[in-house]
Amino acid sequence: MSQIGFVESLLSGLETTTKKSLTEVFRHLVPNAQFGPVDHQEKALNFQAYYLNSTTPSSSNTEFSIPHGLGRTPYLVLPVLALDQVGAQIIPLTMSRAADSQRVYFTSPSTSAPFSILVE
């Protein structure tokens, strides 16, 4: 079953007007969900997540932190590779301590390496 077919099956028991409205909303959202372009501290287009760009320290395995601006402790970090940035790379990151409402904390064996992440 397709994603939209599954959603429509869940809506099948609703009152006709409500079902019609919600079906149209989901027919638009499901195939059009996007993360959007990678830009520092910009919100993803359709998700409650933000992009962060940073560079690792010049010494390997040194702790560094990045302010995330969420105003709450994030749940996860996803590495992203911006396809409009020549030389962009995904690097190994190790979480050095738990994230808090202000920052995420990492170490990396890569030195002076620019990278992008998506924080949710």
Q: What is the largest CA-CA distance in the chain?
A: 62
Nearest residue to 119 via CA among 66, 74, 65: 74
Lowest mean pLDDT among 4-8, 52-56, 57-61, 109-113: 4-8
pLDDT single digits (tens) 24-46: 777 766 666 777 777 777 777 77
In the predicted model, is pLDDT for residue 1 greater than 50? no
Q: Which residue has the tokens 């079902």?
A: 19
Mean pLDDT of the chain: 86
pLDDT of 32 reads: 66
Q: What is the reported pTM? A: 0.72
pLDDT mean over 95-119: 96
Predicted confidence (pLDDT) per residue in 73-95, tens digit: 999 999 999 888 888 899 999 99
What's the whole-number mean pLDDT along residues 56-64? 97
Query: For residues 103 and 66, is the Cβ–Cβ distance under 8 A?
Result: yes
Burial zone of 28 (CB within 10 Å; 0-12 exposed, 13-18 middle, 19+ buried): exposed
Q: Are 50 and 118 in contact (CB under 8 A)?
A: yes
